[in-house]
Structure 1
């Protein structure tokens, strides 16, 4: 019962004049799309290193997307009559 699919992910980073980096990551499964958001702000006393803001904002957006994907999987599990697990690690494959 082999199963192979390809999901596309797009990551967009935006920085404003106030030192805030915002990230939006879009997961397109072909059947649905999920969007995660994250942001990072450079403290005025910190050295300006835009790559750090990019990393933080992107990581937070991907974390937000991952949570949405896990929530969707749990809803789908319940939708087929399975009981909701007490912890996420019990669902499907171990982490």
Structure 2
């Protein structure tokens, strides 16, 4: 089976008094997932707006990604292919590569 899909992501950013807020909306065509992210500039740090944009945007997209993963987990479990039960094995980590 071959299919092609286009999912659209809208990302809105706003900044006010050292706080950047982001809203990410993923439109799959059949549903919309909305994620939020916030970044605050420490008053003692240099205010570099692009850093706040990147942090808030990444946090909003991470929020959407988590929702998408939870939805996929629910759908897999509904067809009997859910996550394994019981204790999980050691997670793969970057340090494992150099061992």
TM-score range, shorter chain: 0.7 to 0.9
Aligned match of 2:19 = 20
Aligned match of 2:8 = 8
What TM-score, normalized by structure 2, do the two folds share?
0.81
Give the total of aligned pairs: 87
C-alpha RMSD over aligned residues: 1.6
Give the secondary-structure state (helix, strand or coil) at the position aligned to 2:3: coil
Which deviations, in whole Å up to 9, do the C-alpha atoms of 1:23-75 show, x marking residues without a partner?
00000001000001101000111111000000000011111111110000000
Aligned match of 2:95 = none
Rg larger in structure: 2
Structure 2 unaligned spans of 5+: 92-99
Structure 1 unaligned spans of 5+: 90-95
Aligned match of 1:59 = 58
What TM-score, normalized by structure 1, do the two folds share?
0.85
